[in-house]
Structure 1
Amino acid sequence: MEIQVFILLIFSGITFAAADLSKEKCPSGCVCRKRDVKCYALTDFPVKFPPLTTYIFMDEMNIQTIPPNSFLGLEFLNTIEFQRSNFGSISTCAFKSIQSLEKLIFFKSVIGHLDKFAIFNNTGLSTIEILESKITEVSPFAIATLDNIVSFSLEDTTIYDLNTMSIVNVSGKELTIVGSVFKTVHYMPFVFGRFSQVKILNNTFEMLPCGTIDNLLVAAVDNNPLITGNAIMCDCGISYIHKLQNEKQKDLLNNMYCLDGGVINSQRIVSEALSSALPCDQKNKETLTKCRTQEVKKMPTLVCPSYSHGGVYKSTENKNGNSASSLSSCVTVLILTIFVLLNGSSVRQF
């Protein structure tokens, strides 16, 4: 009888412990149901998510930054979706070590600064969608080394400052850039790998420096990219294009038009008169018409902060492991204890 009471108390303790653990797992301001976490109108990024989370949805967030290692320890996380949110920055290594991540979506969101290696080397990542959003600045190597992309979509988004080599070594099936506006564009912003399908439609490039056209064409494996309806600022900044010799590049420009209402045609492209027709002073002519091949930046070494976001996962792993494993270990120990007690009781009775 005493042992039965003892066992009942033990299992009651396990039940209460599990209930308390369930309460602790869901971040404040979020709703956790099964393996989904949905957060609304937060001003601080959650320090910790349940370890078995597969889907994270965040709506109307107003957060200074998505910190490094924000999703560390989430071995089953499949999809992260942000809607109508405002982020001051997305830090280096924000999405590091989520090898299970397949989909990353930003919809109607504002990002102040996309740091280098913000989205980097996520081997399972197949879908990136940035839709109806605004990004103030994209750093060099912000999105880099992704080679299993099924769909990379940049649609109806405004980017105010796109640095050299902002998007590097990204390859896959489909690249879609549609209806977006690029304000300040630096030399060679895209250094894509190869895509099976390329659609670049109805975008506005207020600057179109050397290297932009080349690398958009390189991304097209099928030699039949759908690149049309794009507008560019026909000023001194494109005075280099009269030197283009590649027929594909010329055809691409034939499908573009000037923001001032002018038309770019093959005759204008190959004509030396182009540069004199543009409002360039002599210094700019000499610099821009050379269109010198600039040295491609070397991929820097990734250095992530040694700490985990909030310090929670690191201390938890070092001391107790994650919550699920801690509970499992606790249950195992208690079961073994019960087994020993039962055996001991039967021996004494015998």
Structure 2
Amino acid sequence: MGPAVDILARSPSPANMPFFGILLCTMTLMQHFTLAVNSAALSMDVQCSNGCTCQLYHHVSCANISLGDFPSQLPAATTQLQFSSSLLPVIPAGAFLNLSHLTTLYLSSNGIEQVRPGAFNGLSQLQFLHLNNNSIGALETGVFDDVTAVTFLYLDNNLIANLTPDVFSSLGKLNVIDLHNNRLTALLDQTFRKLPALRWLFLSNNHISAISPRAFRGNRVLRELYLDGNQLTTVPSYAIRSLRRLNILQLSNNAISRLSSNAFSQKLKFLQEVYLDNTLLEEVSPWAFPRLRALKVLSMRGNRLVTLSFSSAFQSIEQFGLSGNAWRCDCGLIWLRDWLLKQNMTGQSEVWCSTPSVHRGKPLVKVQTQYLTCPSDNLNTSTTSSVTTKDHSSAPQSTAHATPPNANGRGATPRANTFENPTPTNADPCLSERITEVIVSEITTSSLLVNWNILEDLGDEYELWYSTGGERQSLRMIGGVREVELGELQVGAGYRICVVPQSSLISKCTGPSDNQCTVAQTLGLPSNSEPVQSEGKKGQYALGAGITVMVILLIIIALIVVFKLRSSRTGFQRHYDEDACTYIENFEIDQSKMDFDNLDSAYDNAIDEGNM
């Protein structure tokens, strides 16, 4: 039982009488209101046309109506009208003249082929107009002139092939236009002119291949634009540059193979989500995204991307969609690996390696950084991330671990937007004046850590040359890297290592200067050769060996002295103990031989003499 029933079941006290009076009056009024509504509903049923049902709240539903039976007498207070499963190939002019209170009109799935101008005359309060899932082939000019209050217009799943300019110009309050799944091929100038309130525009799954630069002129508050599933070959940069409030741009399932540096205007300050899935995308300019400072979501799944250069816009990215690409896992993706490691497990599985073969089928985050290398394009080296010599039996593969600079205040994330260093006027092909020092230290028996200092920062690319008496190998480092770990080197082998800045003259550099190079050797001794060391290390080893010999000699002398002293003290103690033992032994023997009876007699005699 409810609370009201419980209260009525009790015997009322005088204090509760006013409360019960109010409750009974309220219940009585509710009963009268229900009866009045039911009576009104019955009266509306009487006024409904054949095939239509008049429901509460002024809702009317008509089913299986043909054009000849189009209802002409409907309740004037109707606010929602729905036609379903009807055969209405044409909506004639003046079809809804007596429905001035209508706010919602459903004309979906009625086989409509044509809507004549004037069809919506008198519908001054109409806000929701559903014309989707029909066979409308064109929208004639002036068809929406009388529905100026419409805010939601649904035209999806029709056969519309063209939109004449100004066809929507009378819809000044329009918020949403849904035109997906039609046959549009182009968007002309001023197609969406005079729509200052338009916020959502759905143009997905058409055949659009061209968009006029002035197609969206005046749509300054547009928030979401959906152009996926069309035939665009480039980003409509000039058309969308005026959409300064745009938040979401959907361009998936087009044929956009390349993103140029001017793909996205700097005026798109509020663009947060960009979708480019399944667009056959092969190349992305390093300058395609830096202007998008508010970017949060970037999805480029199911494309042909091999690498992706770092962009400053990626610093604000919260979600990367990068799966389904043929990623080449080398030094160009070090920054992406670092970014992925900060994400959850789902985000970390977005990037899988396709090349080189040694990494194929691995997630990028599972490849150690020292194996993400970039072989030189100008030298005779492998195109994979491992640099090998021609003699595979004598020289193992080598790898490099690139570490971003930190000594001179640079950020921890390397920049991959590389550029070619300018050619100096003195035409020094090795650019030796830019390198001040190269330092090498042994890490293990098969690795060396290389650091270098520069005089001025004029570029982000360097080539590291290293050899051990045979063919020269090289690694190209990008992103401002100043430290490289060479791994899987020969044990106990001496290496000559040189650092050469990247430039157009690098192919002519045959003899780097001494300040660009150094010589070092991995730890361990090879079985067939004497280790080759740097001069500084030789001196250190000689000094260490001398100190070790002197320490050993001092220890030996100290041990001899201690042994001598201990031997002398042991002999003296032994003789002393022997004498003591003899004395004690003799004393014990004398005591055993003493006659205690004679002693007693002598004592008694002495006492007697004293008494006398």
TM range (shorter): 0.5 to 0.7
2:65 counterpart residue number: 42
1:227 counterpart residue number: 249
1:146–1:170 Cα contact (<8 Å) kept: yes
1:187–1:209 Cα contact (<8 Å) kept: no
2:511 counterpart residue number: none
SS, match of residue 194 in structure 2: strand
Q: By how many angstroms is 1:195 displaced?
A: 5.2
Aligned equivalent of 1:218, options 242, 249, 252: 242
Q: What fraction of aligned residue pairs are identical, expressed as a percent?
A: 12
1:130–1:157 Cα contact (<8 Å) kept: no
Mapping 1:295-314, distance limit 5 Å: none
Please give the per-residue CA displacement for 1:291-320, whole angstroms capped at 9, x wherever unaligned: xxxxxxxxxxxxxxxxxxxxxxxxxxxxxx
Q: By how many angstroms is 1:220 displaced?
A: 4.2
Aligned equivalent of 2:183, options 144, 159, 163: 159
- Does residue 261 in structure 1 map to residue 311 in structure 2? no
SS, match of residue 206 in structure 1: coil
- Does residue 127 in structure 1 map to residue 143 in structure 2? no
2:186–2:211 Cα contact (<8 Å) kept: no
2:142–2:167 Cα contact (<8 Å) kept: yes
- Does residue 69 in structure 1 map to residue 94 in structure 2? yes
Cα distance in 1 for residues equivalent to 2:206 and 2:81: 29
Greater relative contact order (Cα < 8 A, sep 6+):
1
Q: Rate the CA distance shift 1:43–1:202 in 2: closer, same or farther, 3 A.
A: same
Mapping 1:222-301, distance limit 5 Å: 224-234=246-256, 246-247=265-266, 255=274, 257=276, 261-263=280-282, 265-266=284-285
Cα distance in 2 for residues equivalent to 1:218 and 1:21: 51
RMSD (Å) for aligned C-alpha atoms: 4.2
2:121 counterpart residue number: 96
Q: By how many angstroms is 1:22 displaced?
A: 7.1
Q: Rate the CA distance shift 1:27–1:198 in 2: closer, same or farther, 3 A.
A: same
Q: By how many angstroms is 1:136 displaced?
A: 2.9
Tell me which structure has the larger Cα radius of gyration.
2
SS, match of residue 169 in structure 1: coil
SS, match of residue 60 in structure 2: strand
Aligned equivalent of 1:203, options 228, 237, 244: 228
Q: By how many angstroms is 1:172 displaced?
A: 1.4
Q: Rate the CA distance shift 1:217–1:202 in 2: closer, same or farther, 3 A.
A: same
Question: 2:86 is aligned with what amino acid?
Answer: M
2:161 counterpart residue number: 137
Per the normalisation by structure 1, the TM-score is 0.54
Please give the per-residue CA displacement for 1:144-172, whole angstroms capped at 9, x wherever unaligned: 232223x3042753334455344332221
- Does residue 181 in structure 1 map to residue 200 in structure 2? no
Point out the more displaced range, 151-160 or 185-194: 185-194
Cα distance in 1 for residues equivalent to 2:116 and 2:282: 41
Aligned equivalent of 2:142, options 92, 95, 117: 117
Question: 1:148 is aligned with what amino acid?
Answer: K
2:192–2:219 Cα contact (<8 Å) kept: no
Q: Rate the CA distance shift 1:21–1:137 in 2: closer, same or farther, 3 A.
A: same
Q: By how many angstroms is 1:67 displaced?
A: 2.0
Please give the per-residue CA displacement for 1:253-302, whole angstroms capped at 9, x wherever unaligned: x9564866234634698xxxxxxxxxxxxxxxxxxxxxxxxxxxxxxxxx
Q: By how many angstroms is 1:104 displaced?
A: 1.2
Q: Rate the CA distance shift 1:142–1:135 in 2: closer, same or farther, 3 A.
A: farther
Per the normalisation by structure 2, the TM-score is 0.33
2:193 counterpart residue number: 168
1:330 counterpart residue number: none
2:538 counterpart residue number: none
Q: By how many angstroms is 1:199 displaced?
A: 1.4
Cα distance in 1 for residues equivalent to 2:277 and 2:207: 15
Whichever structure has more strand as a proportion of its residues is 1
2:193–2:216 Cα contact (<8 Å) kept: yes
1:84–1:109 Cα contact (<8 Å) kept: yes
Unaligned runs of 5+ in 1: 1-18, 270-350
Question: 2:163 is aligned with what amino acid?
Answer: S
Question: 1:42 is aligned with what amino acid?
Answer: I
Cα distance in 2 for residues equivalent to 1:208 and 1:94: 38
Question: 2:169 is aligned with what amino acid?
Answer: A
1:202–1:230 Cα contact (<8 Å) kept: yes
2:111 counterpart residue number: 86
Unaligned runs of 5+ in 2: 1-41, 289-612
Q: Rate the CA distance shift 1:255–1:191 in 2: closer, same or farther, 3 A.
A: closer
Q: Rate the CA distance shift 1:267–1:209 in 2: closer, same or farther, 3 A.
A: closer
Q: Rate the CA distance shift 1:166–1:83 in 2: closer, same or farther, 3 A.
A: same
1:228–1:255 Cα contact (<8 Å) kept: yes
1:67–1:91 Cα contact (<8 Å) kept: yes
Q: Rate the CA distance shift 1:220–1:84 in 2: closer, same or farther, 3 A.
A: farther
1:26–1:32 Cα contact (<8 Å) kept: yes
Q: By how many angstroms is 1:183 displaced?
A: 0.9
Residue-pair matches, total: 241
